[in-house]
Amino acid sequence: MPKTPMNQALPFLTVNRSFLAEFIAAEKPCCALGMVEVEDQQCGFMALRPEPMIPPGVTDRGFNLGHTLFGTSTYEVIHFAFEFYGFKTFNVLINPNNLIVQAVLKRMIETGDYFFFAIDEQTGIATAFRSEIGDDTLHNLTENWERIQRSSTTEDQYHQVMLKFAANPHPPGILLKWVCQDDIEYLDLREDRMDLTPA
């Protein structure tokens, strides 16, 4: 699914300042979920700080997003794969039994409008990709949403899936650590706000 980086004509984006500070401080490579405000509407997003950083020429071509649901009849773990054409693939596993995950994915599914950020703190550049309204990129998540909402996956179960996946990643690629997952206040955009200028 190709995406187009945002340009100067697009509006400001607002995120939670404390979230962004923790995300930038986290050890790379990493990924996090959050909320972004654009034109007075809130959308879910996934942010990546990959290692190595994605070159500008690669981000210009967009990327392919894939996702699957791992687990058994008693637990589940969500897998996302970001394939940047002609460069590398980045994988992330998240536990659906998490308040932030539930809130962000619900917003993404309900609105069909969501963002992906690739952040390079060394240059201060954040490349943003916006979904194409009406595409079926999240079809598998939508189909399994009732199960995801009822998830009771434990930290131990999540960790075991992580270990198994890391030993034999599919698709082959770099595994990102899921960070900024514990503070539900990171989804609050009412006061602790930071505006980002599309670039």
DSSP 115: E
Residues 149 and 114: their CA atoms lie apart, in Å, by 19
Alpha helices for the chain (secondary structure H): 17-25, 56-59, 99-111, 139-143, 145-149, 155-167
CA distances, 124 to each of 103, 107, 150, 197 (Å): 28, 28, 39, 11
Q: Is the pLDDT of residue 45 over 70?
A: yes
d(CA 18, CA 35): 12
- Report CA 192 to chain centroid distance, whole Å: 21
Give the total residue count for the chain: 199
What digits encode the pLDDT tens for the residues 145-169?
A: 999 999 999 999 999 999 999 999 9
Q: How far apart are CA 102 and CA 149, in angstroms?
A: 7
Amino acid at 116: F
Q: Where are the domains of the chain?
A: 13-181
Averaged pLDDT, 70-98: 95
Element (H, E) at 174: strand 174-178
3-state DSSP of 52-101: CCCCHHHHCCCEEEEEEEEECCCCEEEEEEEEECCCCEEEEEECCCCHHH
Which of the 8 DSSP states describes residue 178?
E
> Do residues 85 and 169 make contact, with C-beta atoms less than 8 angstroms apart?
no
State pLDDT tens for residues 86-144: 999 999 999 999 999 999 999 999 988 899 988 887 777 788 888 865 556 788 888 99
Residue with tokens 């899921």, as numbered in its chain: 178
Q: List residues bridging with 5 in a β-sheet.
A: 129
Q: Does residue 1 have a pLDDT over 50?
A: no
| Alpha-carbon separation of residue 80 from 54, 69, 169, 176 (angstroms) | 17, 9, 12, 10
Position 4 confidence tier, pLDDT thresholds 50, 70, 90: very low
- pLDDT digits 0-9 by tens, 23-36: 999 999 999 999 99
Angstrom CA distances, 122 to 54, 125, 126, 160, stand at 12, 8, 10, 33
Q: How confident is the model at residue 59 (pLDDT cuts 50, 70, 90)?
A: confident
